[in-house]
Structure 1
Amino acid sequence: MRAITMKEFGGPEVLQLTEVPDPQQRPAHHLIDVHRAGVNYADMHVRNNDYISPVELPYIPGNEVVGTAADGRRFVGLTRGGGYAEKALVHHRTAWAVPDDITDEQAITLALQGQSAWHLLFTSAELKSGQTVVIPAAAGGVGSLAVQLAKQAGAKVIALASTEEKRRLARDLGADAAVDSGSANLTEEITEGAGGPVHVALEMTGGPVLPAILGALAPHGRLVVYGYASGQMSDLPSRFLIEKSITVSGFGLPNLYSDRDALPTSIEALFGAVREGWLKPVTGGVYALGDASAAHSAMAARTHVGKLSLDATR
């Protein structure tokens, strides 16, 4: 089969289209013909060799696929690598049958980024109706879904995005205010948009953005950290946390893979929301499998909106 293989770490150019043996069927797994493979920030960290969980080379990236099993059923599923390929194995516990009225393009947004958005808001942050929430990268894959989920839950949404085009999209998706994530006065602009300190904030940028968001939290506020897209980790100011009694938690979706209820519950809720029409996945671009390096370049440049994916059939 064709697959994107990394034989070294580095820039997008290390993502090479190669011929590799087909994966062999294993117990408790579906072997699927991949239609779409999701592209995520985690894949960039793997490529740069700065991911939290190191990988061994040679390596096929990709943790999110949608495709068809031998019996004709469509599945969307989560993998631990191996997704950038024409065929992939997905464990029964992290694979879900896709309803006929959900397209491949919709499904590929939901398995990793959709469920991340869901559990960030409702499991980790425990967001409630009437609360105010800050959502970073609000025009991206996780962010664009989180804006809609939070708004539907009755929260006031403050979106962060780097360009006016992206801020406009966030407002169109339901954000009550949209703030330039690169502002030198980020704390002040968040609190102004929110009408005061906020109850909940998500954070995936790192660097100077994290302390700026912390500054906008109200006493007893909650911060959930789920990434460091800037490539910079940030130290948490413990004195500041104590003074405002702020709760900080980390989030990584793989920690829910062994939970028999969490992911089945969220994926069914997401399918239902798309079916009802109020959750609208945003597609930022579909690249041929061999153009994985171009997809990574677009993600690194942050020129895209919504979900990036690879079409493994071309």
Structure 2
Amino acid sequence: MKAIVIDRPGSYERLQLRERPDPQPRPGELRIAVRHIGVNYADCVIRMGLYESAKRLVGWPITPGFEVAGEVESVGEGVPGWQAGDPVLALTLFGGYASRLCVPAAQAFRIPPGLDSAQAAALPTIFLTAWFALHELAHLRRGERVLVHSAAGGVGSAAVQLAAQAGAEITAVVGSAHKRELPRRLGAHHVIVKSEQALWAEAERLAPGGYDVILDPNGVETLGDSYRHLAPMGRLAIYGFHTMLPKKGGRPDWLKLAWDWLRTPRFDPLKLTVENRSVLGFNLSFLSERADLLLPAMTRILAGVEAGTLQPPPLTVYPLSAAAEAHRALESGQTQGKLLLAPDA
């Protein structure tokens, strides 16, 4: 099998494609012949050496990757209902950038009819992140006002769909004009283009009383203003700090990182109680033991996809050997939808 291995943190050259022995399924596991692999911004942060769960749970060397799709190749003992050739998508706790992979059967799902492996591999991380933010943390209600930052990206586009499904009024924020149409097509009622409009003046015009829920993966660039634009009883869900990290070069700018860390808002619990606002944060990889939350959510997401009420994002596919190019593109901030890797034939 082939796998991407990162021996130590650094830039794109750290993503090394290597031959590895084929894994053998243990009892309770499936071995998957991987056709497509989801690429997430977290993978870039892992490569830079800044992803806390990767450092705590794995260390170096590490193979990144949280989601794969393909076919079942072999079945371990004690796994009923699966056989070789079944189409499958799976959640992984790292290790996904590989042409073969063994996963616990509890983390595997049948690909719904009508989806190919590329579309299936694009679903788990972005939809589970959006689901957890909107439903498990923010408890989104029908009619509430939601603001979604980076709404043309993977998580953002999933969040727009889930919020629309819940009956919310959605304001989507995108960076440039070419990203405007995607969130609108997915259900956003308003789209703010940051390169053309004053973000917070327009956000305030659209919701003078503030937003009930704001999803913010940006960090210091927007975090303080996101909080200030919450309505009473508003909830700010934080799941990333993208603006603190580089858009080119692949390495952290440590001076900028330190400066941004110093400028990152600290939320006063006394003010939170007076202002009736909540700040919520999470990292899915630290929730890997909460199968009671994540696996039922994944089942509901797949049911929505099968019913046509949710749809995979636009896809861009790179060969596994071009993982560095995928990382470079994702970090640039110019992509839409989801990036995937396909193991080389």
For the criterion TM > 0.5, the same-fold answer is yes
The number of equivalent residue pairs is 314
Would you say 1:253 and 2:284 are equivalent positions? yes
Matched with 1:62 is: 65
Would you say 1:128 and 2:131 are equivalent positions? no
Would you say 1:115 and 2:145 are equivalent positions? no
Structure 2 unmatched ranges of 5 or more:
74-83, 245-259
Secondary structure of 2:233's counterpart equals strand
CA distance in 1, matches of 2:223, 2:195: 12
Secondary structure of 1:258's counterpart equals coil
The one of 317, 322, 330 aligned to 1:299: 330
Contact 1:138 1:147 in 2 (8 A): yes
CA distance in 2, matches of 1:82, 1:294: 19
Out of 117-126 and 185-194, give the one that drifted further: 185-194
Amino acid at match of 1:21: P
Contact 2:25 2:102 in 1 (8 A): yes
Secondary structure of 2:160's counterpart equals helix
TM-score by length of 2: 0.85
> Residue deviations 1:159-210, cap 9 Å, x none?
1111111122211221111123578953332222235311111111101211
Secondary structure of 2:69's counterpart equals strand
**RMSD of aligned Cα (Å):** 2.0
Matched with 1:236 is: 266
- Deviation at 1:292? 0.3
- Deviation at 1:271? 1.7
- Deviation at 1:73? 1.6
CA distance in 2, matches of 1:178, 1:88: 40
Change (3 A) 1:182 1:47: farther
The one of 275, 281, 284 aligned to 2:312: 281
Out of 196-205 and 99-108, give the one that drifted further: 99-108
Aligned residues with identical type, % of pairs: 37
Contact 1:93 1:257 in 2 (8 A): no
Matched with 2:50 is: 50
Would you say 1:93 and 2:106 are equivalent positions? yes
Secondary structure of 1:76's counterpart equals strand
Contact 1:191 1:198 in 2 (8 A): no
> Residue deviations 1:49-78, cap 9 Å, x none?
011221422221111111211211222111
CA distance in 2, matches of 1:24, 1:194: 55
Secondary structure of 1:192's counterpart equals helix
* Map 1:1-314 → 2, pairs under 5 A: 1-53=1-53, 54=55, 55-70=58-73, 71-181=84-194, 185-231=198-244, 233=261, 234-238=264-268, 240-314=271-345
Amino acid at match of 1:153: A
Secondary structure of 1:230's counterpart equals helix
Secondary structure of 1:89's counterpart equals strand
Contact 1:151 1:174 in 2 (8 A): yes
Secondary structure of 1:237's counterpart equals coil
Amino acid at match of 1:160: V
Structure 1 unmatched ranges of 5 or more:
none
Amino acid at match of 2:27: P
Secondary structure of 1:187's counterpart equals helix
Q: Greater CA radius of gyration, 1 or 2?
A: 2
Amino acid at match of 1:22: D
